[in-house]
Chain A
């Protein structure tokens, strides 16, 4: 049986992990490769690296990082942030990433989804969508959620699927950082209107939140950052609890 995936997300700036990472037993908590190894051994099903470096000349640093992660780990991982062209995707995949994610670039130029999917196959093209409700309507946001667009979350989800996305990583900006749980209603709707897998992101604070999102929506995976980085939730413990709640996981 296909299992639900638990995915830690690492924000990367200039080749280092940012956003308070506080792993016990790691001499250098900022080294994404050490973290990746630790997660890989600790039961994570997949990893997401989000490069938030501002400048394009840090590209080489990112590619080196991708290679090092691929060298040290034996679970799949996705790389996002600043990917705009076929060449960008080619370099990241060739270095050892399994999937790439695009966000703003897809909103600004939706045809890039078709193009990437034609060249690389849809299975490695994840479209990341940041959204939050404005006057009750879920609107897609850009630049890490700072800039609102007029694009409706649900219409956009359907469009990216039609254009050849293989997966949607939906982050609710409303829930992100609150630790009050995932955006269940929106996730339920997104995961029901598309046939491609959906990764839930934003709001994970407790094991109950994970049980909730898998029980109440059709999402295929749940992603979180700080609860894993700070070891508030250990992935193996979480998976055992999910299993006890009749949610299929790989243990």
Chain B
């Protein structure tokens, strides 16, 4: 199986590559459109600020490529947020795969939402063999609200989308590559789709 990890200069892409390695798969970090298009699975990671990430994607034309992909694509953290229509983070226009607006946490709890929190309300085969209320690692200040695309939730003052799915596009707000056994199982489930 060919797995492309989209490399657009931002983010801790090595972590994703290493997580695949631990699962016995090889992931290629690449910005090459042909390589991405021909991969069996695509992972779209992201750490960083939405506007600088979108700038990088536009420079390389990846902003056009990603929404046109037909194979399973998983956006992680900022990668998931960038697949939405827009983000309140510096009022950034994003890729528009999910017709959702990414919002800033705006409550009295500590922000960013950093640490291990539980996921529930599973509605996807990504969660095969995952027990409800399993712990995964989040680190973010912006969130995707609940919608028809939500396939699991987490609660931080209120419920928000921990994962989303639309056709072949999967978004994961937490970092499966850093979420111990639960995260590894979710990645494995994605790779087996």
In the bound complex, what is the Cα–Cα distance between A121 and B116 (angstroms)? 19
Whether B111 and A195, one on each chain, are in contact in the complex, defined by CB atoms closer than 8 angstroms, is yes
Residue on B nearest A74 in the bound complex, by CB: B180
**Interface 1/0 per residue, A120-148 and B, CB below 8 Å:** 11111000000000000000000000000
For the complex, is B112 an interface residue (Cβ under 8 Å from A)? Answer: yes
- In the complex, what residues of A have CB within 8 A of residue B155's CB? 1
- In the complex, what residues of B have CB within 8 A of residue A99's CB? 139
In the bound complex, what is the Cα–Cα distance between A96 and B5 (angstroms)? 14
Count of inter-chain pairs, beta carbons less than 8 A: 115
**Interface 1/0 per residue, B136-147 and A, CB below 8 Å:** 011111000000
For the complex, is A65 an interface residue (Cβ under 8 Å from B)? Answer: no
Which residues, 115 to 144 on B, are CB-close (under 8 Å) to A?
115-118, 135, 137-141
B12, B111, B135 — which one has the most chain A CB atoms within 10 A of its CB?
B12
Whether A97 and B12, one on each chain, are in contact in the complex, defined by CB atoms closer than 8 angstroms, is yes
In the bound complex, what is the Cα–Cα distance between A196 and B109 (angstroms)? 9
Whether B14 and A67, one on each chain, are in contact in the complex, defined by CB atoms closer than 8 angstroms, is yes
Nearest-neighbour CB distance to chain A for B75, whole angstroms, equals 15
Size of interface on A: residues with Cβ below 8 Å to B: 38
Residue on B nearest A43 in the bound complex, by CB: B180
- Does more than half of chain A's interface fall in helix, strand or loop, or is it mixed? loop
A3, A46, A76 — which one has the most chain B CB atoms within 10 A of its CB?
A76
Nearest-neighbour CB distance to chain B for A116, whole angstroms, equals 10
For the complex, is B183 an interface residue (Cβ under 8 Å from A)? Answer: yes
For the complex, is A93 an interface residue (Cβ under 8 Å from B)? Answer: yes
Partner pick for A98 among B21, B89, B178, CB 8 A cutoff: B178
- In the complex, what residues of A have CB within 8 A of residue B59's CB? none
Which residues, 77 to 124 on A, are CB-close (under 8 Å) to B?
93-99, 117-124
Query: With A2-B115, A3-B117, A250-B116 in contact, is A121–B156 under 8 Å at CB?
Result: no
Whether A70 and B179, one on each chain, are in contact in the complex, defined by CB atoms closer than 8 angstroms, is no
In the bound complex, what is the Cα–Cα distance between A244 and B12 (angstroms)? 36
Partner pick for B114 among A75, A117, A118, A167, CB 8 A cutoff: A167
- In the complex, what residues of B have CB within 8 A of residue A70's CB? 12, 14-15, 18
Whether A197 and B180, one on each chain, are in contact in the complex, defined by CB atoms closer than 8 angstroms, is no
Query: With A1-B155, A120-B48 in contact, is A250–B112 under 8 Å at CB?
Result: no
Size of interface on B: residues with Cβ below 8 Å to A: 43
Which residues, 15 to 40 on A, are CB-close (under 8 Å) to B?
40
- In the complex, what residues of A have CB within 8 A of residue B112's CB? 122-123, 166-167, 196-197
**Interface 1/0 per residue, B21-40 and A, CB below 8 Å:** 11000000000000000000
- In the complex, what residues of B have CB within 8 A of residue A120's CB? 10, 47-49
Query: With A74-B177, A98-B47, A119-B49 in contact, is A1–B14 under 8 Å at CB?
Result: no
Whether A121 and B78, one on each chain, are in contact in the complex, defined by CB atoms closer than 8 angstroms, is yes
For the complex, is A71 an interface residue (Cβ under 8 Å from B)? Answer: yes
Residue on B nearest A124 in the bound complex, by CB: B47
Whether A220 and B115, one on each chain, are in contact in the complex, defined by CB atoms closer than 8 angstroms, is yes
Nearest-neighbour CB distance to chain B for A88, whole angstroms, equals 15
Whether B175 and A76, one on each chain, are in contact in the complex, defined by CB atoms closer than 8 angstroms, is yes
Whether A93 and B114, one on each chain, are in contact in the complex, defined by CB atoms closer than 8 angstroms, is no
For the complex, is A45 an interface residue (Cβ under 8 Å from B)? Answer: yes
Whether B18 and A123, one on each chain, are in contact in the complex, defined by CB atoms closer than 8 angstroms, is no
Nearest-neighbour CB distance to chain B for A6, whole angstroms, equals 10
Q: A-B pairs with the 6 shortest C-beta distances?
A: A96-B14, A250-B116, A123-B112, A250-B135, A71-B18, A121-B49
**Chain B residues near A (Cβ < 8 Å):** 10-15, 18-19, 21-22, 47-49, 52, 78, 89, 108-118, 135, 137-141, 155-156, 175, 177-181, 183-184
15 A-B pairs with C-beta separation under 8 A:
A3-B117, A45-B115, A74-B178, A74-B180, A74-B183, A76-B139, A93-B47, A94-B13, A96-B12, A96-B14, A98-B139, A121-B78, A124-B47, A124-B48, A196-B111
